[in-house]
Amino acid sequence: MKNNYKVNSKLVLLFVIACTSFGFSQSTDQVQIKKLYDTALTEGKGYDWLNYLSNQIGGRLSGSIQAQQAVNYTKSQLDSLGVDKVWLQPVMVPKWVRGTPEFAYFETSPGATTNVSICALGGSVPTPPRGIKANIIEVEGIEQLAILGKEKIEGKIVFFNKPMDATQIDTFTAYSNCVDQRYAGALEASKYGAFGVIVRSMNLRLDDYPHTGSMGYGDQVESERIPAAAISTNAAELLSTSLKLNPEIKFFFKQNCKQFNDVESYNVIAEIKGSTTPEEVIVVGGHLDSWDLGDGSHDDGAGCVQSMEVLNLFKKTGYKPKRTIRVVLFMNEENGLRGGNKYAEVAATNNEKHIFALESDSGGFTPRGFTFDSSDKDFEKVLEWKSLFEPYLIHSFKKGFSGADIGPLKKEGLVLAGLRPDSQRYFDHHHAENDTFEHVNRRELQLGAASMASLIYLVDTYGF
């Protein structure tokens, strides 16, 4: 009986010690995370960095002067943080130029025309110098091309008018369900003899802003390629209604875009070396390039400055990471993913050991949580941290897509994650003229940066 008492006493003591240790760990984490949020909201630099990127530099299309200015500026700001290393990683990127503003109208009868807002899709060929004028045929998706066949499409302009599904609460799901018409519409329509394509903008709101974005021609030779443009949602509605009243409407559009040879650009990289296991690398990043219509504040200036802010917050709060924390500002996500591929290639060549990568490329709106591309075991580990974020209203921890630029790093044992802000307003601005600094809220932006820093702190502290 006495022996059992002693054994039970030891078990109780061990249990108390374990509980005490766990409580201390939780308290330490809570204190550090609160410090990160407090500092981000009162001393953060991200909003000021974004102000400069947006209003002093502007749209940063790969291969442009503005993209190089953004490289120089972000490198200088990262240098000023006093981190251990800052460097540029060369990468060859495509250079596509929009040229003079596009022009379009539809004609209901000779001389009766209505101007509509369009913009060339990124990577498109130009129209002939005098533009294209032809009858127009409306479809709701690429799959309808085969149903209509060459007889009804040849010699016409194809109008892809599949809208984003407003019933989807996750607007990125709505986007992914119809973006194929933007990317591959011209390639597929050309097989049926179309002269050109007009694509409804990827936007849930009805407005007059056409939204650009990348498109591709596959392995088509130059002579087989047809021009492609996006049309604003208001104009798409008007055109669709007009076609129902008069199927013989003619459409005219003119664009002067041009593809040049690849040019050299750079990924911008900075890191704080780990204090105990520096060979283990944690990456956080966004893409520095943007489309040219707006200034790329949400897509993805926000993600870049939030990633830079992670290093700033660690420095300001005095946190010394165990593992190496590396910021990567990727070049050319929008029309090529060259920066993401180059970073992964160099990392593999150098045999670097990445354990975690986090990307922010969903805008600077209020953070709601994270998505994780990981094994079930690693995801269970992540879920243990969820309660630490609930005081900051970060509730959504789900398995799912992480980010385009960190995708090439994917391999067994590496956990990838993406910051997920509220998505309801994102596609109002995505790839459009109104993706501008005035539509970014400082507090929302900084909350996102603090959330990213907090997650990286936990990964650095506990690993997987």
d(CA 171, CA 175): 6
Is 259 buried (19+), middle (13-18) or exposed (0-12) by CB count in 10 A? middle
Pairing verdict, β 132-139 and 157-160: parallel
The catalytically annotated residue of 138, 271, 333, 433 is 333
Given phi > 0 = left and psi -120 to 50 = alpha, else beta, which region is 176? alpha
Q: Name the maximum alpha-carbon separation found in the chain.
A: 106
Helix/strand number for the chain, H first, E second: 13, 16
Residue 211 · residue 431 · CB < 8 Å: yes
Residue 432 · residue 403 · CB < 8 Å: no
Query: Which tokens hold the place of 238?
Result: 């008007």
Q: What number of CA atoms fall less than 13 Å from residue 326's CA on the CB side?
A: 26
Q: What number of CA atoms fall less than 13 Å from residue 231's CA on the CB side?
A: 31
Residue 364 · residue 297 · CB < 8 Å: yes
The residue type of 160 is F
Residue 145 · residue 197 · CB < 8 Å: no
Residue 305 · residue 46 · CB < 8 Å: yes
Bridge partners (DSSP) listed for residue 359 = 285, 418
d(CA 447, CA 317): 16
Query: Which tokens hold the place of 250?
Result: 């003619």
Alpha helices of 318-400 — where are they, by DSSP H? 338-349, 376-383, 386-389
CA 118 from centre of chain? 23
* Segments of 273-424 assigned E as strands: 277-287, 323-330, 353-359, 367-373, 396-399, 415-421
Taking CA atoms, 44 is separated from 316, 320, 457, in Å, by: 9, 18, 17
Query: Which tokens hold the place of 252?
Result: 């005219």
Bridge partners (DSSP) listed for residue 93 = 263
Residue 95 · residue 259 · CB < 8 Å: yes
Q: Indicate if 102 belongs to the active site.
A: no
d(CA 270, CA 75): 8
Q: Would you please indicate which residues are annotated as catalytic (active-site) residues?
A: 333
